[in-house]
């Protein structure tokens, strides 16, 4: 394969302290749209409002000729068409997805990549068939340790040409809630979300949810492809191996109250009582507590949680805010989860800007 020089595919980098968003970052932001925060209002995010992240191009997949291969360390490799997949056990689950890069653009210094602020999240009703029975049918060899999932999209990243591919430990791949998904909110899966088939690993950050799935390969050694061994690592220095990004850290978001200024998104509200609402989630076993601050994170007030949702679905919350003083206020919200993890108020910086869950800030002017 011809090596691509760094002018075509530059290495990872962190922005200079005073460096603004570049046209390259803007182009990524325009392609990979977030969920408008007012859509926190919906229990299930309408399809067009769900965030989208695609590393390369959205591939055109012809369903007539498409098929899924299941092979590697198995007795009987399988080849399945979409009708084969659709004729199997059908499961629908509400699951919240969040991109591991969510919050990246608010880090100081800013890792140069897709510049998300708070909005790379959404909840859908995903319909598909469990993966585990298919792997059992194929007959797993005792040597199996990881499963590699390959999409149909191809590109180059930091000089490494590749087809999008992620590995998952066998124990995770065999969970009964891991699905091969062909439906979203009761409709066929749309192209931008991975049609005709995608992987769903509830609780894990977005990178694990491989779209345009073409191949499932059982491996007898840990998967060491780019998206596991180079990308999605928590690290401070470029040369350290770092820890892998896995499950979603707890996070809460606030539906911005009042109405916005077009350009700054600063909110304007009237003096009086406002019911603040939003959602909270965690890949470590549900959000169990939400706190709201009206002084930029100095003091906190416990919010009321909505009914327990499905295990990896966001949970609604509300808190009544008595906005009796005129002037500017910084609203913050933070979640805790069943494992006792609490969202940090200050950033926990890493070079790729991944798995970041420092609190959202919404600037409001009370008049």
Ligand X SMILES: Nc1nc2c(c(=O)[nH]1)N[C@H]1C(S)=C(S)[C@@H](COP(=O)(O)O)O[C@H]1N2
Q: Does 211 bind ligand X (CB under 6 A)?
A: yes
Q: DSSP state, 172?
A: H
Q: Which residue in the set 210, 252, 364, 366 belongs to the binding site for ligand X (CB under 6 A)?
A: 210
Residue 269 contact, options Mo ion, ligand X, none, Cβ 5-8 Å cut-off depending on partner type: none
Q: Which residue in the set 74, 97, 333, 355 belongs to the binding site for ligand X (CB under 6 A)?
A: 97
Q: Which residue in the set 45, 54, 127, 316 belongs to the binding site for ligand X (CB under 6 A)?
A: 54
Candidates 192, 196, 186; CA nearest to 93 is 186
* 318-344 exposure pattern, b = at least 16 Cβ within 10 A, e = fewer: bbebebeeeeebebbbbbbbeeebebe
- The set of residues, in sequence order, having a beta carbon less than 8 Å from that of 227 and lying 6+ positions away, is 162, 164, 165, 166, 207
Q: How many whole angstroms separate alpha carbon 69 and alpha carbon 74?
A: 12
Scanning the chain, the segments in alpha helix (DSSP H) are 23-31, 82-86, 132-138, 170-173, 226-229
| Paired residues of 254 in beta bridges | 278
Q: Does 53 bind Mo ion (CB under 5 A)?
A: yes
Would you say 130 or 206 has its CB closer to ligand X? 206
Would you say 209 or 288 has its CB closer to ligand X? 209
Q: Least distance in Å: CB of 221 to ligand X?
A: 22
Site string for ligand X, 153-192 (x = CB under 6 A): x----------x----------------------------
Asked if residue 205 lies in contact with residue 284, where contact means CB atoms within 8 angstroms, the answer is no
Q: How many whole angstroms separate alpha carbon 85 and alpha carbon 280?
A: 33
CB-based closest residue to ligand X:
206
Q: Does 355 bind Mo ion (CB under 5 A)?
A: no
Q: Does 53 bind ligand X (CB under 6 A)?
A: yes
Q: Which residue in the set 61, 135, 207, 290 belongs to the binding site for ligand X (CB under 6 A)?
A: 207
Interface ranges with ligand X (CB under 6 A): 50-55, 97, 99, 151, 153, 164, 193, 206-207, 209-212
């Amino acid at each position: 394969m011809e090596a691509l020089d760094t002018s075509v595919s530059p290495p990872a980098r962190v922005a200079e302290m005073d460096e603004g968003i570049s046209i390259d970052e803007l182009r990524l932001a325009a392609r990979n749209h977030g969920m408008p925060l007012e859509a926190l209002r919906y229990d299930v995010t309408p399809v067009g409002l769900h965030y989208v992240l695609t590393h390369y191009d959205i591939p055109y997949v012809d369903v007539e000729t498409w098929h899924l291969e299941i092979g590697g360390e198995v007795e009987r490799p399988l080849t399945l068409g979409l009708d084969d997949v659709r004729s199997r056990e059908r499961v629908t689950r509400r699951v919240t997805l969040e991109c591991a890069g969510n919050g990246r653009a608010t880090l100081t210094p800013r890792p140069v990549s897709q510049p998300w602020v708070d909005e790379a999240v959404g909840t859908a009703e995903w319909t598909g068939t469990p993966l585990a029975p298919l792997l059992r049918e194929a007959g797993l060899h005792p040597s199996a340790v990881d499963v590699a999932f390959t999409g149909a999209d191809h590109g180059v990243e930091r000089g490494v040409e590749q087809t999008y591919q992620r590995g998952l430990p066998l124990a995770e791949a065999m969970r009964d809630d891991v699905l091969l998904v062909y439906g979203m909110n009761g409709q066929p899966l749309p192209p931008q979300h991975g049609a005709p088939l995608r992987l769903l690993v509830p609780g894990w950050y977005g990178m694990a949810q491989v779209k345009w799935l073409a191949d499932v390969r059982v491996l007898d050694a840990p998967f060491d492809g780019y998206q596991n061994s180079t990308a999605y690592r928590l690290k401070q220095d470029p040369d350290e191996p770092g820890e892998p990004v896995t499950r979603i850290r707890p996070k809460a978001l606030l539906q911005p109250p009042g109405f916005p200024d077009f350009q700054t998104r600063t909110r304007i509200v009237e003096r009086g009582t406002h019911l603040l609402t939003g959602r909270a989630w965690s890949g470590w076993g549900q959000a169990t507590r939400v706190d709201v601050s009206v002084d930029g994170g100095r003091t906190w007030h416990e919010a009321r949680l909505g009914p327990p949702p499905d295990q990896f679905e966001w949970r609604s919350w509300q808190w009544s805010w008595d906005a009796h003083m005129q002037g500017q206020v910084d609203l913050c919200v933070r979640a805790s989860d069943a494992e006792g993890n609490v969202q940090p108020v200050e950033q926990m910086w890493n070079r790729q800007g991944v798995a970041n869950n420092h609190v959202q800030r919404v600037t409001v002017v009370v008049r």
